[in-house]
Structure 1
Amino acid sequence: MQPLFVRVFCVTPVNRSLPSCDINCFRVSDSQATFQNRRSWHRGIMGGPGKTHEAIQTVGAVTVASVQYQPTDRPIEDRFSFTVSPDGTRLMLGVYDGHGGSDTADYISKILPPALLAHPPQEHKRIFEDTNTAMLDAFKDDHALFRVRPRSKDWLNNAKLLRSGCTALILDIDIPGMLVHFANAGDCRALVCDFPVSGDPNSLQLQQTVDLNAKSSLEQERLKLEHPNEDMLVVSGRLFGKLMSTRGFGDGYYKLPRGINNWQHKKYVDVLSSFDTQTGKVPLNAQYNSYFYGYRSPPYLVATPDTGLLKLKRESFIVCGSDGLYDLVTNEVVARTIRQGIRDGAENLAAHLLSTLTDIGDDVTILVLTFN
């Protein structure tokens, strides 16, 4: 079983065309980060089925509590990352909501944080897009019609990375400056919560990232602008009636070129469908007309992140979560639950929040950052 709690170091990319990085830039020494109370067990909430994993990680004055929950016996598809600069002044948190398997989320959680940490926050957008392009190019090169060299040794993995998909939320935290540069491609959410020291004890100030998926009016407008005169792009709140995601990595079948009369795209989908026969799913190519009835001007799903800045105070705390969390509770409930957990001395604030949730039907990943 692959570890779900990842202390991220620089990882050599899986295929030859993806961006590399200097390993000396990203090593997290034991003196910088401590890991405590890491626990995993096969027991669901309230004694039901499922799996729960939790951990606490500390860097200087910052503590990050984490928990993941899978309500069924399936492997969890979410991943998260925790990466620190050598001097301990820059902390990068990531949440990656996987779907269609965990391959893409697992891969992106390992290569994206060190690539971002090697550059200033102003480069986040470019690095997201370059990583996405490199993944697509590696697959297309392996399956080029007039290929002049053998397929790469990583061709199977390159294909798996496009068959599954994941969203990505990155928080690049300047600890001394108390600033968060975020890059969000998808519908994971970061929430910065402040309860003012003075004034109304029940007052609450919130900052958040914007959820971007097929239900978002912003994403629906983007699709209309980028694909004019194309109808039925979003059906029943899903891209082509099938996929909730409109931003993220992987999901190559909504990004790859179509060719004349879609012949090239059908060839690519045939390759990606080979993994469905191994899992017992109905192959994509057997449902081609249903999935791709309006496939005219790809890409429809992009990795371009929404970027921005969130400001912190010493009394602030941050709650990052996959949509499995925020589909169930409001921002206000999240903030007040964590605040009560702080008052009660909860050992793991993320696990404390998870324990209050009911009717969980999706993978849930929660990170809670506090200042000591």
Structure 2
Amino acid sequence: MKYTVSTKHCILSEKSLKHITRHIQKINQILPNFDPDSVSLDLVFKRKKERILSHASPTPKASLAICFDGTIKMVLPKKPLIVRFKKATIDEAVNIGFDRLFKEIETYKGKHFTNNSEFYNHDTIRKVGTGILFSEPCDVTRSDYFAQRRKELVEKYIKPSGIKDKKIIKAMLAVPRHEFVQEQYRDRAYVDASLSIGEGQTISQPSLVALMTELLGLSGEEAVLEIGTGSGYQAAILARLAKQVYTVEIIEKLALRAGDTLKKLGYDNVQVELGNGTLGLPKYAPFDAIIVAAAGSKIPKPLIAQLKEGGRIVMPVGDRYVQELKVGIKEKNRLKIKRSLPVAFVPLKGRYG
């Protein structure tokens, strides 16, 4: 789901940003069967002075008071939802706005879906022209089903996102993302969205995987280090574009599962290691490129030390709620940093996380 937040004459507090993030996560959970491109959310908060009358004395007196006007517009197939609200503080405005929006979503659900099972059904859905997904079994037994979905992924999301490298596009067409997600999410494997892989972790949205890969500038002869194996999907993409991929995962269950999947699919040039990724892999260093699939407050020093001169590192940097994808190029043992775009990743775990 795409969303924007804008303010006028006011600044959102960290508390408000956390509330907004939590509410948007909830919306993503209760609207599981929509194409992300068919849903958008726009939030506007405005600080203003309003004249009020006080009746505390026999003669009413006018005075000015600060208030916060808000509007949330959610565009859904068939009908947009719009809620307006006004509160004395911006935190109150955020909470009352989303409370009203959730009530509108429940009303919308009742009008356009016959029952909850149809609304929440993950396994028997299809997309129709309006963007709403209705109950109908997906023919995943067809040998070309997922191949066709990958083509749609590339044409609908990857190319429009600005990816031009033909080798990356070829890799996105070849790697079976559905093999790297949990069974209940296979029908959504080729939508441009992150998905849960368990253990509190996610598989990144494909367009972001493609972008981070492109930012590495691989030629095909590199040794690449990945921090945060997760599902193994990013490593599989890298395996088609580099000579050797080393990937580190701190969660044992994910490391074992990713290793099994990569081995089953024949990615022999990927080596999965269990460990603290913020320390890198000194025994295989130096690396031509390093990619970090989790966000930290800064790029860990051990990773900089293990990067070859002239090598590139791509990593999301920031706190839990505000992050920016950064590209570092090592020159004379120092990183020259370039900024890319705002992103949202799970936190980097480990000593330098």
Q: Report if TM-score (shorter chain) is over 0.5.
A: no
Q: Relative contact order (C-alpha < 8 Å, sep 6+): which is higher? A: 1
The alignment's TM-score, normalised by the length of structure 1, stands at 0.25
The alignment's TM-score, normalised by the length of structure 2, stands at 0.26
Higher strand share: 2
Which structure has the greater CA radius of gyration? 2
